[in-house]
Amino acid sequence: MSIPQTQQAWRATAKGAPGKVLRLDNDVPVPVKLKKGEVLVKVQAAALNPIGYKLMQLLPGFVLKRPYIPEHDFAGVVVDSNGTEYQNGDAVYGFLTVPLFMQTRQGTLAQYIRAPTTHFIRRPDDIPPTQAAGVPLAAMTAYQGLFQVAHLEPEQRVFINGGSTAVGSFAIQLAKAIGCKVTATASGKNEEYVRSLGADEFVDYTKGPLHTALAENSPSPKYHVIFETVGLVDTALYTNSEAYLAPGGVFVSTGPQPKGFDIAGIGKLLWKVFLQPKWLGGTKRTWKMVSVAEKREDLQKITQYITEGKVRPLVDSVYGFEDVPKAYERIMTSRATGKVVIKVDSEAE
């Protein structure tokens, strides 16, 4: 396959909302100079993540220089294997971590990307690129949060706040895959979706404060793990958790992720989870955060679950490459169920 010198890529040109700062450039150099251990991938599909628009809106230019190519998840084909274990033509999928992206300012909303082999694996034929692209970042966050941060074990009980978020909906499926009992939240319209993923019990978070509902219906035994996948800054679910989280149980969060700055909220959370001593009313439960890392073995395991039919890739919507701003509008509603995917190659299945 001949590799062009220039390509199309979306670039963020300033700090701000995607609809205002994104530009589709036609003359971006293809990154043909590869380091040892990197390959060149022709991107077939990419997927959006909340971190994409949060970095775009929050990080000042001295931290993240513009223009840069946003986003992390990809599925594609190796077109320069650069002496690695891969062959040209291999189908692959993975994600470019935030620390890597901060160094390179190269995200996945481009026709060609450089990718270190540590950040992707081979993609089986039965997971088409538009489905595969949405798996890595969200499913690995769920996998690492449940099993490596909270150490969830078979047959335990887990409460997932945000059962219809991308992370939460992978978490439901992964917890069920090892035989756990799962309770998950969403708004009422998503009850069927969350149950179709395997949730045994459902709580509509719009009906009243969650901590009250949980305290009133605390399971026996109590939950072993609470996985907060919404990005709440509100501390009530944690500070009241002695009523429904077992002693020794873990409260794991994808991180307080306000859409803008919320210094007071973050300050309160830090006080509640790290600083307030237990004798001064501090919560007698462990609070931990998951920060997704590039562990190929985790994506291998998730891929195995997918091929075994225990986990299914979740696609909310698929947009053409020219419609990236519309795709951001969709993910920024915080109402998507599954991943918002971009067909970078119009031929991609």
List of residues contacting ligand NAP (CB under 6 A) = 49-51, 137-138, 141, 161-162, 164-167, 185-187, 190, 205, 229-231, 254-255, 257, 290-292, 331, 334-337
CB of 78 closer than 8 Å to CB of 86: yes
Least Å distance, CB 31 to ligand NAP, is: 25
Q: Before 221, cis peptide (omega within 30)?
A: yes
Least Å distance, CB 331 to ligand NAP, is: 5
Q: Which of 148, 309, 159, 298 is nearest to 226 (CA)?
A: 159
The secondary structure of residue 271, as a DSSP letter, is I
Comparing CB distances to ligand NAP, the nearer of 187 and 217 is 187
Comparing CB distances to ligand NAP, the nearer of 68 and 227 is 227
Least Å distance, CB 291 to ligand NAP, is: 5
Least Å distance, CB 231 to ligand NAP, is: 3
Comparing CB distances to ligand NAP, the nearer of 14 and 293 is 293
Comparing CB distances to ligand NAP, the nearer of 162 and 313 is 162
Least Å distance, CB 146 to ligand NAP, is: 13
Comparing CB distances to ligand NAP, the nearer of 111 and 190 is 190
Please measure the distance between the N-terminal and C-terminal CA atoms of the chain and give it in whole angstroms: 19
64-67: long-range contacts, CB 8 A cutoff, minimum separation 24: 64/102, 64/105, 65/105, 66/11, 66/12, 66/13, 66/14, 66/15, 66/21, 67/11, 67/12, 67/13, 67/23, 67/25
State the residue number with the nearest CB to ligand NAP: 231
